[in-house]
Amino acid sequence: MHVIIARHYMQLALRNRSFVAFATILIGMTIASGVIGLLSHQTIISVYNITASELQASGKAIPPNPFASASSLSLIKNMMIYIPLVGALIAIIIGNDAVAADRSAGVAKILFSRPINRAVYVRGKLLAASGILGGVLGVCLLVSCISLAIIIGHTSSVAEYVALIIFYFASFMYLLFFVLVGMISAMLLSSRLVATLSAIGVWVMVTFILPQIVSGVSPVASLNPVSQAIAYQNSQFFQFTSWFSFMSFAESYKHIAGGLLGVSSSNLLDALRFAVPITAAITALYVLTVKAAGAMSTYEGGSYE
């Protein structure tokens, strides 16, 4: 039954102009990320070549090519900013629309007079949303691979491709959290606008405010993998809030994404710091979403499923 619900929502989503527009923007930004990488690569190579020829002419030693030691994935590092920004908004729209389409249209009453229970309903919607999100990120992965092949002129190493796939998988997990936030807000709040704004409020909290509180970073730096110029960690407040850093998915996503794209260093512990809390949060939100599905029908409490 959940497959029927999933297929149905996929059919609806593909006809939702807002979703198609946002998905196109994310894919466009992935292409832009590649173009920016290509242009910066060409500029640096060009400057390097000029400098190298001048050094050679003056008989001085030529320093190594700066790209020789860097991971080619660092050329598309902008993706780790685009995903938490545009990607999260798309995820909210997908989750919100999956439920709001039924709720605002008044279809929920007809749906819940059919032999489906709330868990199956939520599972179906989540399956569809995951499929759509996976599809969009899959296209982004493909675009990233093509961009890299064009930029560096040859295919990346297997390790780099694996890192790129893990990066997109981590992005998928991160965005799935926002899909559920979008779903649960649409279930609990009858106004579509209020539901969307509430979900965006959670996104602002997770992306900007929480990292700032638990890490003592400035809002802009919360998306930037470069280390802080000024550290606030010595203050007692930030020492206390840093205990809750595991709750800052944006912060842990930034670390793992930076490590995978070769921009900063990250280790297995960073991976666990991201994977464990995000999986726990997704599981908890799923359970809450199933409970919240009851609010969609006129049914108020009791034993109906």
Partner 1 sequence: MILSFQLPYNKRMNSKKTQPAILIHDLTHRYKDTEVLKTVNLSVMPGEVFGFLGHNGAGKTTAVNIMTTLLKPSSGSVKIFGEDVVQNSFAVRRIIGYVPESVFLYDTLTARENLIFFAKLSGVVNAEQAVAKTLKFLDCEGLADRRLGTFSKGMRQRIGLAQAIVHQPKVLFLDEPTSGLDPEGVLLLRATILRLKTDYGMTIFMNTHLLSEVSKVCTNIGILRYGKLLYSGSLDDLTHKFPARALLEDIYLSYENQSK
Residue numbers at the binding site for partner 1 (CB under 8 A):
1, 4-5, 8, 11-12, 15-16, 101, 105-107, 109-117, 297-305
Output 18 or 78, the one with its CB closest to partner 1.
18
Which two structure tokens, joined as six digits, stand for 79? 């993706």
**Nearest distance from C-beta of residue 196 to partner 1, angstroms:** 18
3-state helix, strand, coil in the chain (%, to 5): 80, 0, 20
CB of residue 101 to partner 1, shortest distance in Å: 7
CB of 300 to partner 1, least distance (A): 7
Both ends of the chain: CA-CA distance in Å? 14
How near is the Cβ of 296 to partner 1 at its closest, in Å? 10
- Contact between residue 296 and residue 102 where contact means Cβ atoms under 8 Å apart: yes
* Nearest by Cα to 141 from 156, 122, 128, 153: 156
Residue number with CB closer to partner 1 (87 or 124): 124
| Whole-angstrom distance, CA of residue 257 vs CA of residue 253 | 6
Q: Closest CB to partner 1 among 74 and 297?
A: 297
C-alpha to C-alpha distances, 196 to 4, 16, 178, 182, 188, nearest whole angstrom: 26, 15, 11, 7, 11
Q: Which is nearer to partner 1, 108 or 170 (CB)?
A: 108
Spatial separation of the C-alpha atoms in residues 205 and 188, rounded to whole Å: 19
Closest approach of Cβ 131 to partner 1, in Å?
17
